[in-house]
Amino acid sequence: MPKKVIIAGGGTGGHIYPAIAIAQGLKMKFPDIKILFVGTEKGLENDLVPKAGFELKKIRAKGFKRKLSLENLSTLKEVALGGIESLVLLKREKPDLVVGTGGYVAGPIVFFASMLKIPTFIHEQNVKPGVTNRILSCFVDKVAVSFPDSAKYFPKSKVVVTGNPVRQEIVLTEKLKAIKELGLDAEKPLVLSFGGSQGALRLNEAVLELIDLIKEDSTFQLFHITGKKNYDDFISKLEYKGINPLCLGHIKVRPYVYEMHYAIAAADLVVSRAGAITIAELTAAGKPAILVPLPTAAGQHQDYNAGFMKKNGAAVIIKDRELSGKRLYEMIRSLISDKNRLIEMSAASKKLGRPDALDRILREIVSLMD
């Protein structure tokens, strides 16, 4: 009889992309396996999971406010109802294993699965774990972490360091092929800047100023991804400054890049936020970075992710409040002009990468289903 696995994780891409990677890995390993995703009505999983070809069931889930609030009373009701929905779902589906990848929705599903003696596995993407996974670690059978520095937050006997799963194209794409595909100059260093799949307003503002500074300085190439919703406004602001990026051969601006592996492979230096999946992809490809942690990220987890990269020599950090085009320009010029330092940072980044993360995760999952 085919095995059945429930995967619970949602809200942001940082929780959903690893979940989808795990599901796809299980499908490749066991073509007959049945996989069901559990999410909420509002998370990105509603778009990403069906597009990946998996079934999605929805339950109620909500996080408590960190401060005392009347809203927590309604949240308590939602949590209770979500718990009941989780129990009903688990008893109906009878999974052989439940996997949690973070987000509020993982809480009730994984907790009640453990209470029903169903094997349970959670994966933590960030250096500093979220509250949900820290609580769940007391009940689950196995905890996979992406960074060695995360192990101290969990029961020692349950922890295995696996890394964050990344797409194989990130690891396998050759730099020269990527440069050709993107229509770039192989003779000049490339700086890739982006703010994640949704873009980042603060980064866009700084890059607008940066482009003004380098419009007549083609020492390096800039490939900037604004995010779809920010693109038109970004181009309008460039035009207001009298800049037409189509006329500047060393600057390319795109709203979104579906084949992101080409952009990463082509880059000599990356400017980005410090989300867990971004860090996983940069290290798998061995790319040095200037990281600008998102200050509003839950539990300041991006600060911890960026700090881990800096501590290991793979990145430098600009605080969000200190970000400007001038500061960015100075740091880029400093790094680009020091080839030895870029080589050292690249080697340090590569050393942190775990391109075999998915295989490690699948081994642990399979051991729990045997």
Annotated binding site for UDP-N-acetyl-alpha-D-glucosamine: 12-14, 126, 167, 197, 302
Closest CA to 174 of 21, 339, 288, 285: 285
Evaluate whether 5 touches 26 at the Cβ level (below 8 Å): yes
Evaluate whether 298 touches 323 at the Cβ level (below 8 Å): no
DSSP 141: S
Report the distance separating Cα 111 and Cα 79, nearest Å: 12
Q: For 309, what's the count of Cα atoms within 13 Å in the CB-facing half-sphere?
A: 38
Which residues carry a binding-site annotation? Answer: 12-14, 126, 167, 197, 302
Pairing state of beta strands 4-8 and 97-100? parallel
**Cα-to-chain-centroid distance, residue 270:** 15
Pairing state of beta strands 159-161 and 251-254? unpaired
Report the distance separating Cα 369 and Cα 363, nearest Å: 10
Residues 6+ apart with CB under 8 A from 214: 220, 222, 250, 251, 329
Detail the DSSP E strand segments found in the chain.
Answer: 4-8, 34-39, 55-58, 97-100, 120-124, 142-145, 159-161, 190-194, 221-225, 251-254, 269-272, 289-291, 315-317
Total Cβ atoms within 10 A of residue 208: 20
Report the distance separating Cα 149 and Cα 157, nearest Å: 15
Evaluate whether 314 touches 283 at the Cβ level (below 8 Å): yes
Report the distance separating Cα 253 and Cα 123, nearest Å: 35
Using N-to-C axis directions, what is the helix angle for 325-336 and 201-214, rounded to 10°? Answer: 70
